C-alpha cells in the first residue's frame, strides 16, 4: 500500500530534479569569447529590404582550446533595452530558457575556427525596434557555452533601428471601405423599406 505511493513520490521528486538538472543555463555564466560585428547602411533599416552583414570569430586573446566544445554558432537579432521598456514579452532573463531578448534567428551554422561572414536580409515579420546582434556558441547537445555581441555589456553602442513593414495593402484598405459603406447603405435601405411598408396594414 505504501510502496506504490512511495514509488510515485520518488518519481515525482526525480522529475522535479531532472528538470532543474537540464534546463538552467544562465547568461551570466557564459564567457564572452566571440567577437561579433554587424555592418549595415547607416540609417533606419527596412524589414524585407535591407541586409545586415554579420561577421564573427573567436577572440584571439583567449587561450587556444577555448573553443574545443563549440560545434555550432547561432546568430540572433536581439532587442536593445530601449525596445524592452513596458514590454514584458521581450524581457531579459538570466535563465536562458526564459530569456526573451533575442527572438529572431539570423543564421545557424557549424562552427569554424576562422572568421565567418554571413549576409542576412531582414525578414518581413521583424517589428519596429532598436536591435543589436548576438552570437551564441553551442556545444554538441545544442547548449549555449559562450557568446559574443556587437554591442557593449550595457547594450548601449552599435545599436541599429529596423522599421517594420506596415502589413497594409491598398486592396485591403479599399475592401474595408467598400464593405463598411455597404453595411451603412444596407441599413439605410432597410429603414427606407420599413417606412414604405409602414403605410400598409399588413406585415
Partner 1 sequence: MEISSNGAETQPKFALPVDSEHKATEFRLFSVAAPHMRAFHLSWVSFFACFVSTFAAPPLLPIIRDNLNLTATDIGNAGIASVSGAVFARLAMGTACDLFGPRLASASLILLTAPVVFFTSIASSPVSFLLVRFFTGFSLATFVSTQFWMSSMFSAPVVGTANGVAGGWGNLGGGATQLIMPLVFGLIRDIGAVKFTAWRIAFFIPALFQTLSAFAILLFGQDLPDGNYKRLQKSGDKQKDKFSRVFYHGITNYRGWILALTYGYCFGVELTIDNIIAEYFYDRFNLKLHTAGIIAASFGLANIISRPGGGMLSDAMGKRFGMRGRLWTLWTVQTLGGVFCIILGQVGSLSASVAVMIIFSFFVQAACGLTFGVVPFVSRRSLGVISGMTGGGGNVGAVVTQLIFFKGSRYSKETGITLMGIMIICCSLPLFLIYFPQWGGMFCGPSSDKTATEEDYYMSEWSSNEKDKGLHEASLKFADNSRRERGRSVHSQTLPSNATPPANV
> According to CB under 8 A, which one of 3, 85, 140, 153 is a site residue for partner 1?
85
Q: Taking the chain, what is the end-to-end CA distance rounded to the nearest angstrom?
A: 76
The answer to whether 65 contacts partner 1 (rule: CB under 8 A) is: no
In angstroms, the CA 101 to CA 105 distance is 12
The answer to whether 196 contacts partner 1 (rule: CB under 8 A) is: no
In angstroms, the CA 130 to CA 9 distance is 48
The answer to whether 175 contacts partner 1 (rule: CB under 8 A) is: yes
Residue 176: enclosing H or E segment and its boundaries?
A: helix 170-198
> According to CB under 8 A, which one of 89, 114, 154, 196 is a site residue for partner 1?
89
Candidates 115, 41, 52, 116; CA nearest to 78 is 52
> According to CB under 8 A, which one of 18, 26, 29, 128 is a site residue for partner 1?
128
Residue 191: enclosing H or E segment and its boundaries?
A: helix 170-198
Smaller CB distance to partner 1: residue 154 or 168? 168
The answer to whether 105 contacts partner 1 (rule: CB under 8 A) is: no
Q: Which residues bind partner 1 (CB under 8 A)?
A: 85-89, 124-125, 127-129, 164-169, 172-173, 175-177, 179-184, 186-187, 190-191, 194, 198, 201, 203
Amino acid at each position: 500500500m505504501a510502496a506504490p505511493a512511495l514509488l510515485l513520490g520518488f518519481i515525482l521528486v526525480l522529475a522535479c530534479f531532472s528538470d532543474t538538472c537540464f534546463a538552467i543555463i544562465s547568461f551570466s555564466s557564459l564567457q564572452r569569447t566571440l567577437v561579433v560585428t554587424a555592418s549595415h547602411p547607416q540609417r533606419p533599416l527596412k524589414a524585407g529590404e535591407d541586409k545586415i552583414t554579420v561577421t564573427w570569430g573567436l577572440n584571439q586573446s583567449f587561450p587556444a582550446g577555448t573553443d574545443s566544445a563549440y560545434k555550432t554558432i547561432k546568430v540572433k537579432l536581439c532587442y536593445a533595452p530601449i525596445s524592452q521598456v513596458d514590454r514584458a514579452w521581450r524581457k531579459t532573463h538570466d535563465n536562458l530558457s526564459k530569456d526573451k531578448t533575442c527572438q529572431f534567428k539570423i543564421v545557424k551554422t557549424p562552427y569554424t575556427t576562422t572568421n565567418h561572414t554571413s549576409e542576412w536580409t531582414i525578414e518581413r515579420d521583424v517589428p519596429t525596434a532598436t536591435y543589436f546582434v548576438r552570437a551564441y556558441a553551442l556545444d554538441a547537445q545544442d547548449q549555449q557555452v559562450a557568446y559574443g555581441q556587437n554591442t557593449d555589456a550595457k547594450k548601449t553602442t552599435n545599436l541599429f533601428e529596423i522599421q517594420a513593414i506596415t502589413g497594409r495593402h491598398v486592396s485591403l484598405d479599399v475592401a474595408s471601405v467598400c464593405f463598411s459603406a455597404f453595411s451603412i447603405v444596407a441599413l439605410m435601405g432597410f429603414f427606407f423599406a420599413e417606412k414604405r411598408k409602414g403605410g400598409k396594414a399588413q406585415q
